[in-house]
Amino acid sequence: MKLTSLDAFHKQLQLILHTVIRIVFIKVQAGKKTLSSVRSMNSVLTLCCVFVSELGLLTKSCIDQGQLVPDDVMSRLILSELRTIEQSGWLLDGFPRTVSQAEALDDVYTVDTVINLNVPFQTIRQRLTSRWTHLPSGRVYNIDFNPPKVAGLDDETGEPLIQRDDDKPETVTRRLKSYETQTEPVLEYYRSKGVLETFTGTETNKIWPHVEAFLHRKLSSINQRVA
């Protein structure tokens, strides 16, 4: 899938994030990873594990044992990271994932909008199960829209690609069902606050123009309030 239409949108998002607008993205594998101006939960976890701190040690202990990081620890991690950029806007990807995390975020910040990319279950399942990985480099291919030049081989080294256990159909189905069960209460939480915006579709290029138009309207509204 070619995403040339995102170039202009990316520049606009950079402008929006320099304004104090706070956005939460909710949806797994809906194409949102094409944007780079995102505070990703995974990147925060990785960063925290590097530093010898109470939070870092707690997080590392959970990850090393294959356990989920508790809500209170995760919330403290994210809020600590947000304090370093609180004078500008931000976009959260992967947090909050529970109502408890959402409440912790709301205790400190006012979220301007929550964007739910509503992509059908089967579409997401197809994208995830089409992924093949070159383990030594971490390069990821998708046989549907980003295939390797030679089937089954890495473009750079010619070494074989593998399908990770996490990308196998039975595992993906289980993860998605668990994700939807966990996410619905968070969506309802933000829906009740009147900040949830849902965009439905199956292709990134068709969804993003609607997201772009919405963010332009949101930015205009905020600028009018500030003026």
Q: Measured between alpha carbons, how far is 116 from 114 in angstroms, rounded to an integer?
A: 6
Helix, strand, coil percentages (3-state) for the chain, rounded to 5, are 55, 15, 30
Q: What is the pLDDT of residue 55?
A: 56
Q: Are strands 139-142 and 131-134 parallel, antiparallel or unpaired?
A: antiparallel
- pLDDT in 10s for each residue of the chain, 227 residues: 233 333 444 444 444 444 445 666 555 444 444 333 334 444 444 444 344 455 566 666 655 655 567 788 888 888 887 887 766 677 787 788 889 999 999 999 888 888 888 888 788 888 888 999 999 999 999 998 889 999 999 999 999 999 988 888 888 888 788 778 888 899 999 999 999 988 888 777 788 788 888 887 877 776 666 55
Q: What is the pLDDT of residue 35?
A: 36
Half-sphere exposure of 165 (CA within 13 A, CB side): 0
Count of CB atoms situated within 10 Å of the CB of 97: 17
- Residue 213 region by backbone torsions, left for phi larger than 0, else alpha for psi between -120 and 50, else beta: alpha
Q: Measured between alpha carbons, how far is 112 from 130 in angstroms, rounded to an integer?
A: 35
Q: What is the pLDDT of residue 22?
A: 62
Q: What is the pLDDT of residue 58?
A: 63
Domain at 12-114+202-219, CATH homologous superfamily: P-loop containing nucleotide triphosphate hydrolases (3.40.50.300)
Q: What is the pLDDT of residue 178?
A: 79
Q: What is the dihedral of CA 211, 216, 221, 224, to 10 degrees?
A: 170
Q: What is the pLDDT of residue 223?
A: 65
